[in-house]
Every structure is written in structure tokens, then in C-alpha cells.
Amino acid sequence: MANVLYDALFGKHAGRDTPFLWLANGSNVTHAAFLEQAAQFAHVLTNAGLVIGDRVAVQVEKSGAALAIYAACVQAGLVFLPLNTAYTADEVQYFVENSGARLFVCDPSKADALQSVADGAAAQLETLDVNGSGSLADKAADKDAQFATVERGADDLAAFLYTSGTTGRSKGAMLSHKNLLSNSETLADLWQFTSNDVLLHALPIFHTHGLFVASNITLLAGGSMIFLPKFDLDVVIEKLPQATTIMGVPTFYTRLLSDARFTKDLTAHMRLFVSGSAPLLAETHVEFEERTGHRILERYGMTETNMNTSNPFDGERRAGTVGFPLQGVEVKVTDPNTGETLPNGEIGILEVRGDNVFQGYWQMPEKTAEELRDNGFFITGDMGVIDADGYVQIVGRNKDLIISGGFNIYPKEIEEVLDSQNGVLESAVVGVAHPDFGETPVGVLVAKTGETPDLDAIAKHLHDTLARFKHPRKLIVMDALPRNTMGKVQKNLLREELKNLFT
């Protein structure tokens, strides 16, 4: 037996002196150098006592070295657990504890604040900064640049990605070697990736999109990536001439379209623009084609399932749809109440089945059973419809979820914080249309009788507890929340009332 994911993505590039990562300053990291660094990290991890299946939690800035930790984990048979760099210490504590991580890598600037998190979870703390320096790199420096790859099969775990829930705490989605590899193979083939591709990579690498879709496909095809720390409009426009393709959330495309430098000439050489993680407005799709002559290829995925559907590479890329089920992925629309399959043309919940679908939530069998049917279909919580030509369209969500600039925000988590504040009787958080982020959370508060909530103090408290992207862009006090006869808060009415807040 070999190591399913390592061999397909990484191992085959051993000794290749070709550029893998192009850095913002124009220098590059070769495939060989990247793999040697990964091997050195793998030695550090195993010397620390980690054994097959142990989790490695990582909250570090994007860099080639950060990506090499992923490769190191795969090579050593460990489970890679990347965390959003925006998470506060409070948030990180839960992930490190819940996952039972044996080792936690953080930015050196946060080490003092996070040492107690690591100690509390009995995890070893190491550091790595955006330039690749830190205790992990120091320990790796004298290690052998070769590591004996640990055998791992198709169903063994490769990564945990945490995803929040409408109720309760975040859940660790367990992804196997097969989940990740099968999806990358399908997409690389469908989107016709080759070793000539240069992917402009401006996404974070702690989520499915930037980590698995972008990086795995590039590795599989043997291409390279222009590896930027974040989406900076000026830098993306400067680097586009060297790229053949880019993957982004819709905010990337609306920001590019808002800039006069983004022209047909600038993009004439590009072969593919991919969008996903949040709905791309049909207007954006149309405006993009008018400006550049390219049709954005929109696809649909989830943390639990990797990618499910994609518009075609060669056929019609239809605006407002997410295309067809991928090869080997079944997609059906079911009745939210009965679970019965609905005919094409009827709106229901999208369910998906295939090698892409995860192994369940870490140590949460009840949550797993609620969403993953015995027959293998995963209940996505997205409302959709399949049209007569087979195109899947997402029309809404059957889950209380806000997607801001491609980051998922669960209102419940914010409402719990708001409800606990002085002077607050109750709260509701809703997603409101936002010109840059697509949607953004707004907090509606109801005061306790005779009290006046201190909105500044509440904003400060949110700042200390929740990641910045989750902060409501506005807090509004209302006399009461609209409720239906069953007493349930009617968030649709709030959304309607507030829909023009940012436009």
C-alpha cells in the first residue's frame, strides 16, 4: 500500500526543479524545495511523538511554509486541521480542544495569548510566521530533507475542517484521502488543468476553496501558483498577466470589475476564471463577459462535500446556475419535510452522494446522522432546483447561514453573544445585501424594559470574542422582533425591512 493522497499530489514531484509557488516578490519555490521543507516538518511532527491519525491544528498566515505543513501531515499520516487566521483565542480554544490536537502551530505574535490554549488541550505549541520563521522552522532546519512516507489508504483521514452549525458548536468535518483526491481528479480533468497552468492564488488556505480546490488541482496537474498572501486588488491586477487562471469568491470579481484597469486586454490571455463559495449574481456574470469576453465558470461546493457541481468547461456556462453534477457525484432535490425525491423543476433541498462526501463529524454521531443519510446522501441545507437541461440552480438556504465574502457566519453564534449583554432582552442576526461582501450580518436588539443597551460596549465585547468577519456591520435597537403565531422570529421580515441598509 502506498499513501493515496501524498503519492498523487506531492510524491510524484520529488526532485523536480520546476517552480511550484511564485511569491509576491517574484522569487519562486521549486517543487523539490517545497517537498524537502515538508519532509523536514514531517520529521519535527513525528519527533514530537505524533503518530498516525493525530491532529495538527494550524493557525498561521498564508505562506509556502504553511502549505508545506499540509504536505507534511499527509506524508506522515497525520490529520491537517487549518484554522481561519481571524479567529480569536476564545474561538481557537474550542477547535484545539475539540479536535484533541496533539500539536498546534500559531503565529509567533499570538504565541503568548495561545500558550494557555495549547496547555489546556495538552497540545505542543510551535510557531511559524508569514516569512516561514518560527520555532517549527528552527526545529526543521537540521532535519533530513527526505522522509519515509507513511502508508495511508483511500478511507484514511487526511484533514479536518471545522464548519459551524445552525445550532450548537462547530463540527469537525472528517475528510479522507479519497474524498480529496477523487474531487481534485474530477475537477482537474473537467477544467482541463495542465502543467502549463499558472493559477493566481489569492484565497486563504484554511478553507476548501483555496486549500483543496486550488492547491490540490494545481499539484495534481503539475502546474504552478502565484501565491499571494491575500486578495489585494492592485497586486492581483499586476500579476494577472503572468497567470492562466484564477479561482475566487464573487467579491474578487466585483472588486475587479470596479477597477478601470481590469480590461479585455488585461485578461485576453487568461483561459479560465472560476467562482464559488457564495452566489455569483447573474448581473456580475453578464458584466464580466461584457468587459472581458470571458464567461466566469461557477461551481458549487461545501466543506463537507468538496465540489458537487460545475458549469461546463466547453458547453454553455449559464449565469445564475452552478451547472451540472460532477462526474461520480449524484445530486438530487428532495422535499424538506418528507425527504422524497422531487422531479426536475421543483424546488427542494439539494442532497449529494459520491466519493467527495466526507466521513462524518468528529465525535458527533448524532449530528452526522442528522445530515448524512444511511444511503450515503448528504443533506446540504441548500435549496435548489434542477432545470429541464439539468443545470442546478441554488435558490436559497434551508439553514440560518450568512455568507460574507465567502466566509460562513452562523447567526446563532452571534445572537448568543448579543443576548448575554447588559440591557439586551433578545436579539436576531440577519444577512443583509452588501455591495462588496454579497451579504453581511446586522444585529437587531430588543432592550430589557427600562434599560438602554450600550452599543459601543457591545461592539467592543464582540471584538474581543468573535472573529472580525462575524461582527455585525450594524447594531439596531427595535421595540420588538417580528414573530409568527408560533412565536418564531420572522427573519424574512427583518431582512426585507433592512434590505437597503448598505445599498
Asked if residue 249 binds ligand MLC (CB under 6 A), the reply is: yes
3-state secondary structure at position 206: coil
Asked if residue 267 binds ligand AMP (CB under 6 A), the reply is: no
CA distance 304 to 311: 20
Instruction: Decide: 350 and 383 in contact? Cβ < 8 Å.
Output: yes
CA distance 470 to 440: 8
Residues 391-420 that bind ligand MLC (CB under 6 A): 404-407
Asked if residue 250 binds ligand MLC (CB under 6 A), the reply is: no
Contacts of 417 (CB under 8 A, 6+ apart): 461, 462, 465, 466
Contacts of 403 (CB under 8 A, 6+ apart): 277, 278, 279, 409, 431, 438, 439
Residues listed for the chain: 503
| Residue 397 contact among ligand AMP, ligand MLC, none, beta carbon within 5 to 8 Å by kind | ligand AMP
The helix (run of H) or strand (run of E) holding residue 308 is: strand 306-310
Instruction: Decide: 225 and 20 in contact? Cβ < 8 Å.
Output: yes
Asked if residue 180 binds ligand AMP (CB under 6 A), the reply is: no
| Residue 204 contact among ligand AMP, ligand MLC, none, beta carbon within 5 to 8 Å by kind | ligand MLC
| Residue 411 contact among ligand MLC, ligand AMP, none, beta carbon within 5 to 8 Å by kind | none
Please state the closest distance from residue 371 (CB atom) to ligand AMP, in A. 11
CA distance 119 to 126: 12
| Residue 251 contact among ligand AMP, ligand MLC, none, beta carbon within 5 to 8 Å by kind | ligand MLC
CA distance 301 to 128: 30
Please state the closest distance from residue 166 (CB atom) to ligand MLC, in A. 16
Q: Which is nearer to ligand MLC, 99 or 183 (CB)?
A: 183
Asked if residue 163 binds ligand AMP (CB under 6 A), the reply is: yes
Residues 441-470 that bind ligand MLC (CB under 6 A): 468-469
Q: Which of 302, 401, 429, 445 binds ligand MLC (CB under 6 A)?
A: 302
Residues 224-243 that bind ligand MLC (CB under 6 A): 230-231
What is 382-427 written as a DSSP string? Answer: EEEEE-TTS-EEEEEESS--EEETTEEE-HHHHHHHHHTSTTEEEE
Q: Which is nearer to ligand MLC, 181 or 467 (CB)?
A: 467
Stretch that binds ligand AMP, among 35-43, 194-202, 274-282, 417-425 (CB under 6 A): 274-282
CA distance 307 to 274: 12
Asked if residue 325 binds ligand AMP (CB under 6 A), the reply is: no
Residues 368-397 that bind ligand AMP (CB under 6 A): 380, 382, 394, 397
CA distance 334 to 321: 18
Asked if residue 208 binds ligand AMP (CB under 6 A), the reply is: yes
Show the CA angle centred on residue 379, arms to residues 427 and 317, nearest 5°: 100
Q: In Å, how far from its chain's centre is CA 170?
A: 14
Per-residue binding string, ligand MLC, 469-498, x by CB under 6 A, is x-----------------------------
**Closest residue (Cβ) to ligand MLC?**
405
Asked if residue 95 binds ligand AMP (CB under 6 A), the reply is: no
CA distance 494 to 496: 5
**C-alpha cell of 455?**
452599543
Instruction: Decide: 372 and 188 in contact? Cβ < 8 Å.
Output: no
Asked if residue 417 binds ligand AMP (CB under 6 A), the reply is: no
Asked if residue 278 binds ligand AMP (CB under 6 A), the reply is: yes
Write out the residues near ligand AMP by the rule CB under 6 A: 163, 208, 276-279, 298, 300-303, 322, 380, 382, 394, 397, 403, 408
- Where do contacts with ligand MLC occur on this chain (CB under 6 A)? 203-204, 207-210, 230-231, 249, 251, 276-277, 301-303, 404-407, 437, 468-469
